[in-house]
Structure 1
Amino acid sequence: MKDYLVLISCICFLVFLIPGRFRKYFALGGWASIIGYLFFELPYYFSINNFMYPAIALLSVPFLYITAKYLLRDDPRVMQISTVAAVAFLIYAPFGYIPALGDWLIAAVAGQTSAALAAVGYPVTFEAWNLMERNGFQTEIILACTGIQSIAIMLGVAWGVQSTLKQKVAGFLLVFPTIYILNIVRNVFVITAYTEQWFPYLPEIAGNGEFGYESFFWAHNVMAELGALVFLVVLAYALFMIIPELGTLADSLYRLYRGEVEGIIRPTTAKSEL
């Protein structure tokens, strides 16, 4: 079911890009489907002790309510953020839904990660085309390990607003190589930390019953996730410098959602800043 929700979301956002009087409903269907996917994924996230995505799922409920409210009003701000999401799906879809293309990217990232690991003195062997082994610990490279989601999202941010061709090219040159290279660094860090057992701490929090999982948890679910979050904020700021319209959109969206949240929390005293 959850895989169908991602597909439905993708289709809805792509149809949203086609001009028409009903496009706002497709945007709403896209947001609702992707948020539904987050909730269907909760058992998996809890099984690997990943609490960032459950937190995102919880926060997505008021986001969906506010977004739906203003989509139905044809508000240009939520139409714009929906365009960002649609462009991101347009970039991600070929890799997510064409197996040959997705496998090609996985194989490329696996090979480059292996080469980088060997270069820093932690060589691995391949048990399968995308399965690495070192010190008895195996790590599988999947599509989520390629950085394509982050690349698609940030290119959606860069290309989902009105900008010049020069700005779009500059955005691509900033986003793609930066995220791709840093994702390889991230993979090297996580695999090394896991296979060398750098962080075997607090198994009651970080363990899942699998021997040595604690090091993977701290490296992947905590350090790499927080590092990626900080990096994406910095990258977004850099994009704002290249494409000033993004800063204007971000500020207007912040005011919109903050005003609505304040109105929910303090309905009798909050004043909208829309």
Structure 2
Amino acid sequence: MKDYLVLISCICFLIFLIPGRFRKYFALGGWISIVGYLFLELPYYFSLNNFMYPAIAVLSVPFLYITAKYLLRDDPRVIQISMIAAVAFLIYAPFGYIPALGNWLIAVVTDQTSAALAAVGYPVSLQTWNLMERNGLQTEIILACTGIQSIAIMLGVAWGVQSTLKQKIAGFFIVVPTIYILNIVRNVFVIAAYTEQWFPYLPEIAGNGEFGYESFFWAHNVMAELGALIFLVILAYALFMIVPQLGTLAENLYRLYRGEVERIVRPNAGKTER
């Protein structure tokens, strides 16, 4: 079911790219499907002791409410953020839904990660085309390990607003090589930390019953996630410098969502007593 929600979301956002009077409803369908997917994924994330995505799922509820409210009003700010999501799906879809292309990218990342591990003194053996082993511990490279989601999202940010061809080209060269290379570094760090057992701490919160999982938890679910978040903020700032329209959109969206959240939390704020 959850895989179908991703597909439905993708289809809805791609249809949203086609001008028409009903396009806002397709954008709404896309956002609803994404939020539904996040909640259906909760058991999986809890099994990994990953609490970042469950937190995102909880925060997605007020986001969806506000987005739906203003989408139905044809608010240009929410239309714009939906355009960003649509462009991101347009970039991700070929890799996510054409197995040959997705597997090709996984194979390339696997080979380059393996070569990088060997270069820094942690050689691995390939058990299958995307399964690496070291010290009896195995790590599988899947599509989520290729960085394509982050690349698609940040290119959506760079290309989802009206900008010049020069700005779009500059955005491409800032986003794609940087994220791709840093993702290889991330893979190397996580695999080395896991197979060398660098962080075998607090098994009561970091363990899941598998031998050595604690090191994977701290490296992948905590350090790599926080590092990626910080990096994406820095990358977004760089894009704002190249595409000033993004800065304006970000400020407008911040005011919109903050104002709506404040109205939800404090509905009587600013009202005088009678």
TM-score of the pair, normalised by structure 1: 0.98
Q: Say if 2:201 is the partner of 1:201.
A: yes
How far apart, in 2, do the equivalents of 1:77 and 1:95 lie? 29
CA drift at 1:128:
0.4
Q: Say if 2:75 is the partner of 1:75.
A: yes
1:118 equivalent in structure 2: 118
CA drift at 1:30:
0.1
After superposition, the C-alpha distances for 1:3-62 in whole angstroms (9 at most, x for unaligned) are 000000000000000000000000000000011000000000000000000000000000
Q: Say if 2:20 is the partner of 1:6.
A: no
User: Once the two structures are aligned, what percentage of the paired residues are identical?
Assistant: 87
How far apart, in 2, do the equivalents of 1:9 and 1:246 lie? 24
Aligned residues between the structures: 271
SS in 1 for 2:82: helix
CA drift at 1:270:
5.2
1:64 equivalent in structure 2: 64
SS in 2 for 1:138: strand
Gaps of 5+ in 1: none
Q: Say if 2:35 is the partner of 1:27.
A: no
The answer on whether the counterparts of 1:263 and 1:270 sit within 8 Å (CA) in structure 2 is no
SS in 2 for 1:79: helix
How far apart, in 1, do the equivalents of 2:153 and 2:270 lie? 32
1:104 equivalent in structure 2: 104
1:127 equivalent in structure 2: 127
The answer on whether the counterparts of 1:87 and 1:159 sit within 8 Å (CA) in structure 2 is yes
SS in 2 for 1:237: helix
CA drift at 1:186:
0.1
SS in 2 for 1:267: coil
Q: What amino acid sits opposite 2:176 in the alignment? A: F
CA drift at 1:217:
0.1
1:189 equivalent in structure 2: 189
Q: What are the equivalent positions in structure 2 for 1:88-237 lying under 5 Å apart?
A: 88-237=88-237
How far apart, in 1, do the equivalents of 2:92 and 2:270 lie? 39
2:249 equivalent in structure 1: 249
